[in-house]
Structure 1
Amino acid sequence: MKAIVHAEQEGLTGLLLQDIDAPSIQSNMVKVKLKTAGMNRRDIAVTLRHKTDQPPLVLGSDGAGIIEEMGEQVQGFAKGDEVIINPGLGWKHTSDAPPEGFEILGLPDNGTFGEYISVPADNIVSKPDHLSWEEAGVLPLAALTAYRVLFTRGKIKPEDTVMLPGIGSGVLTFALKFAKAVGARVIVTSRHEEKLEKAKDLGADIAIPTNSDWNEELKNEKVDLLIESVGRATFDQSLSIIRKGGTIVTFGATTEDEVTINIRKFFYGQFNLLGSTMGSADEFADMLSFVEQYNIKPELDRMFSLSQYKEAFEYLKETKNFGKIGFSIG
């Protein structure tokens, strides 16, 4: 089969499109012929985390396709079923944090950027009927992350005002759609006017430049819940704009990881600072029910062929996307 593999060199220069052996299955696994696969910023990070002395690795965490083969212990599915893949391995029930041994497809196990993948049967679910193959393939990781951030960790309420600095990523476009679905007010920021306009088209109530004075722009607003994924570049502003007693949930850092907090300001403000990442299989099922209930679809930016992998990775690295991008495979 053809697959996008990382090997030989660190970083994006180690990416190759190769012919490799199709995966086999064990008794509790299914083999899926992939139709589409979604990209995440994690895929870029994996090209640095995967070492050149390790075996070649098929990248990718998100995917959707058709069951081609099943192990003898698998029940509840049949050959030919249309499924999407939950990329979280070893996290079944919702908990305060992932259990020991939790992993994500695409490192250390081979991922979805190929024509076939074999995964535990516990990690497949039926494809929602309202999603196209392209939409289903890019849904899992980002939608699950956004769901846990807003509902499990942030405990969003319909009357909340939610702020999403740096709108444009897959997770934040899902967070915007999820928050609006439950009736929350949403504020977004971006460095790009085009992304601000697109966010308003999706229902954002206020859209301001990231490099503006947030306190001046939002002097009549009270931000209850802020989803922080930028890092050092915005964290101090995030802490200054959240209402006293409000909550910041962080799930990533597209700029530098380390931030400085004025601890006196923090405890006098009675702020809540929470971390989040991915989610459990229970939350994955809840997220799918939610997107079906509200007929929510991913904000799909564009799809690439496997042979366009260099262009796709550069597109994602330069954050040109508004919403999700991915690969059309079969």
Structure 2
Amino acid sequence: MKRVVALALDGVISYDLACVVQAFRYCPGKDGEPLGFQLDTCGARAGAVNSPDGFSLYVEHGLEALADADVVVVPGRVPGEVPEEVAAALRAAAARGAMMVSICVGAFVLAEAGLLDGRPATTHWAFCDDFARRFPAVRLDPGALYIDDGDVLTSAGLSAGWDLCLHIVRRELGAAIAADLARWNVRPPHREGGQAQYIPAVVRGNDMHDSLAATLDWAAANPAAAPDVSALAGHALMSERTFIRRFKAELGTTPRRWLEAQRTARARELLETTELPVEVVAAHAGFGSVTALRAHLRTATGTTPAGYRRSLRH
């Protein structure tokens, strides 16, 4: 039996904590008995723990519970300073050889304790820019659902915590038990792609110069109508050279890259909301072939058209 301790700090996100509880307290074994893990929950101290979710929690243990944990899991919490005694307890657990795990923005806590320096890690996509600014020594991967770096594991936001917990069960107890756990919780044992597929597709900013706005609106609404940069320039009634210069000055990117992004955004929309065959989606989005669609979608989301449609179709 491995002892798993979830550290619920003030501001803990109850969904993140629930992923840990559901995975490790109810990991199925023979005759429904827990197998492989013993789960405890602790706080910075025993007693009440505040949550932003409309209720408080009560934990029976303080930081002393980390002293003999085999696995330490830090669920996400609302932003706030990490008390030095918490950071010190986490460092001591890591130095002792405990597996250190974060879910969602719990990565901020591990990073604050210095446990992610020089390591690959991830967190919720919406907080990646802030994380990168605060912790430049961490090798942040904004697209991953989770990252296993041996003794330190991190996940992206919310439901990605489930993906990571299942991965740990699979790694420690085998694929069959992980599949049973997933089946019991009525969820897939493995998800395709990374969290990039869940980041909203941004078509264009709101601060566009009037000289380009009409052309960009036209091309974004129907990327197939603008097969190349010369078509964009023609719609804007500019020479191609002038259009490219003005485009780069106002948008900070090239027309070709912008057009590829619009095609990918349009393809994502069609895959999510229609039953159209992939060949038709590629044509409507302005890609010359299904191969081109697959290549651009994998770059943008980390998955295939079929995988994206299965995971995100409305």
- Shorter-chain TM-score bucket reads under 0.3
- Relative to the length of structure 1, the TM-score reads 0.26
- Relative to the length of structure 2, the TM-score reads 0.27
Q: Which is bigger in relative contact order (C-alpha 8 A, separation at least 6)?
A: 1
Larger radius of gyration: 2
**Which has the larger helix fraction?**
2
**Which has the larger strand fraction?**
1
